[in-house]
Structure 1
């Protein structure tokens, strides 16, 4: 009888240990509960039952006992993203786009070293962009278009060495394009449509050898476009219209054979490189409905 009780105790201990290990850390669960509260979770389209295990919560992806994904795209989130998100140390994907989140970004959001994709587009987020990106060595996608961000694009964004897509279109960003952007050697998409960016472009665009899409339209850029842009052989989509560029003549020697869409204020170049309906459609797709100004 004693042996049976002994082995039963061992079995229960091992089983309970397994159940504990199967749960996410308390710090991660506590943050998710706080996130649910501050983003008015009871009004989400697909809300969480906080009495159930986090693995059952909509949009929460768990792997090896940690939250690796938080995907709540178009789910009627409002309120603010709470501080403390750094508790999700293994988070790889954060997609909160197409909601009505407001306020400033959490101070510790850009401490998530495992994050690969950060999508916050089509919200009402405001304030200045953070200065330090040195911990985000894994980030490949940063999309925050159609918000209310102000101030300059920080030079620290050049620290995102693995970044492939940067979309800050339709905000209120101003100042010049930081020269540090030329350090983003893996960048394939640079989209800055519809801001208040101004001045001459001092960035050596020729260093962005993998660039496929360059959208600088409807800002206040001036001067000559960097001649090095003509060496970008992978360009497929270019929009430069709505600026005050003095000359685009350097693009006459454009080397890209993949160019499908080219829009500028220079009609000769538009005809030379082909100005078709795809360009107009893509421009609309990037702008979306300008809800942030309502």
Structure 2
């Protein structure tokens, strides 16, 4: 009898511990509820039962008693992302892409120090981009293409020292590229096509030694392409067409042996490096990138 009571106590203790660990702070739960209401949760494709435990909510991942992932892509979200998201202090992944979100980004979004992936592409978000990214040292992916963002690309974006993907294509961004981009030495994909970016590119592209994709097409860039770009040996995709570059001659010395897609307004270089059919295909894939990676 004593052994039965002993084992019953152990089972109860372990079960109680599991329940405690599954719970999240009230502040995190309240933000999720605010988010649900702000984005018309009752009309989501996969909605939440607010009376159930948050661990059962679609797209919510909880670990060690905190929300670590919020994946609600292609879920018919409407409305705005509410301020207060910084209470999700352990959030690593935020994917709200392919929805109908509007308005500006939450002001405290840049305070998510553990965030690794931020995907907001294919929405109707607007306003200007945040200026300070000093707390987001762990961010590896920043994808916000096909939105309504305006203004310039802030120099603070160079603070994202671990960034591997930067995709701001198909917005209304203008001005020149900030020189701080050359600090993103881990960058593998730089995609900026279809904006109103202009001026010469005064960046030492040669510092981006891990760069595989460089897509600058359909902007208003001019002048000579930086000669250091020719030293990038890992480039696989290059799209430069639809600009006003004066010269791309530096690319004649390009060292990359992995190049599979090349497109520019220079027919000689297109013949030398390019595969036009593959270029057009990749442009479409970049603009309407699927979510299968998540």
TM-score range, shorter chain: over 0.9
* Matching residue of 2:241: 241
Q: Aligned pair in 2 of structure 1 residues 213, 15: CA closer, same or farther (>3 Å)? A: closer
Q: Report if the CA contact (8 A) 2:165-2:189 is conserved.
A: yes
* Matching residue of 2:292: none
Query: In structure 2, what is the Cα distance between the partners aligned to 1:282 and 1:127?
Result: 28
* Matching residue of 2:136: 136
Query: In structure 1, what is the Cα distance between the partners aligned to 2:183 and 2:141?
Result: 16
Deviation of the 1:277 alpha carbon: 1.3
Task: Confirm whether residue 264 of structure 1 aligns to residue 264 of structure 2.
Answer: yes
SS of match in other structure, 1:101: strand
**1:232-279 deviation digits (Å, cap 9, x = unpaired):** 000000000000000001111001000101000000000011223111
* Matching residue of 2:188: 188
Task: Confirm whether residue 22 of structure 1 aligns to residue 22 of structure 2.
Answer: yes
Deviation of the 1:284 alpha carbon: 1.3
* Matching residue of 1:3: none
**1:51-70 deviation digits (Å, cap 9, x = unpaired):** 00000000001111110100
Task: Confirm whether residue 201 of structure 1 aligns to residue 208 of structure 2.
Answer: no
How many matched pairs?
284
* Matching residue of 1:230: 230
* Matching residue of 2:177: 177
TM-score (norm 1): 0.93
| Unmatched segments (≥5 aa) in structure 2 | 1-7, 290-294
Query: In structure 1, what is the Cα distance between the partners aligned to 2:23 and 2:75?
Result: 25
**1:103-155 deviation digits (Å, cap 9, x = unpaired):** 00000111101000000000000000000000001000000000000000000
Query: In structure 2, what is the Cα distance between the partners aligned to 1:98 and 1:48?
Result: 19
Query: In structure 1, what is the Cα distance between the partners aligned to 2:11 and 2:238?
Result: 64
* Matching residue of 1:32: 32
Query: In structure 2, what is the Cα distance between the partners aligned to 1:224 and 1:112?
Result: 38
* Matching residue of 1:73: 73
Query: In structure 1, what is the Cα distance between the partners aligned to 2:221 and 2:98?
Result: 29
Query: In structure 1, what is the Cα distance between the partners aligned to 2:9 and 2:192?
Result: 63
Q: Which moved more, 1:16-25 or 1:211-220?
A: 16-25
Query: In structure 1, what is the Cα distance between the partners aligned to 2:192 and 2:82?
Result: 27
Query: In structure 2, what is the Cα distance between the partners aligned to 1:69 and 1:14?
Result: 25
| Unmatched segments (≥5 aa) in structure 1 | 1-7, 290-294
SS of match in other structure, 1:108: helix
Deviation of the 1:225 alpha carbon: 0.3
SS of match in other structure, 2:100: coil
Query: In structure 2, what is the Cα distance between the partners aligned to 1:264 and 1:197?
Result: 17
* Matching residue of 2:94: 94
**1:60-100 deviation digits (Å, cap 9, x = unpaired):** 01111110100001000000000000010000000000000
TM-score (norm 2): 0.93
Query: In structure 2, what is the Cα distance between the partners aligned to 1:93 and 1:80?
Result: 18
**RMSD, aligned CA:** 2.0
SS of match in other structure, 1:127: strand
Q: Aligned pair in 2 of structure 1 residues 14, 189: CA closer, same or farther (>3 Å)? A: closer
Give runs of aligned pairs for residues 156-167 of structure 1, distance below 5 A: 156-167=156-167
Deviation of the 1:9 alpha carbon: 11
Q: Report if the CA contact (8 A) 2:22-2:62 is conserved.
A: no
